[in-house]
Structure 1
Amino acid sequence: MAHHQSAKKRIRQTERRTEVNRARVSRIRTFVKKVELAIASGDAQAAKVALHEAEPQLMRGVQAGVLHKNTASRKVSRLTARVKDMKPLA
């Protein structure tokens, strides 16, 4: 247990940041899952829209420090390739 005032404050700050970061990561996963579901359903238009919504969320995660830049870029790249390979509904 922390005995110094600064250590107690650090614990409080860490708890708050952890909660915020968990929410950020959860939000990112939700947006990525929407793209995955659209791809699985075969709806190219919905997948493209979902990807356009997910990409900024991933990059915000990078700016916030919850994701590494290369990780986010890799996810965007792979999702983009999968959406691009879909055949549009005719």
Structure 2
Amino acid sequence: MIVLSVSGETEQTLDQAQFYQQNGGQVIAITNQGNSTLAHMADLVIPYYMPERMLDDINLTTQIPVVYILECLAYQVQSVKAAANQDATPKA
């Protein structure tokens, strides 16, 4: 499970991550807070450290680094799959 959280402290997010782990899943946390509760419970943490921007109770922290990280992960998965497919192709 890939969990996205700016603070790493949202109760619902932590509950979902904990439930997933208790049922045998692994958690990858992409968070702005590398020392958060979510970061400590995750199997792998990818922090991105951007300045938090708040407007009243609304968190306006940029999500551009998250999109970039997700794109990089997707590219890596595609590369691994392509390499595995080439290895599985019968050689003449």
The alignment's TM-score, normalised by the length of structure 2, stands at 0.33
Find the structure with the greater CA-based Rg: 1
More helix by share: 1
More strand by share: 2
The alignment's TM-score, normalised by the length of structure 1, stands at 0.34
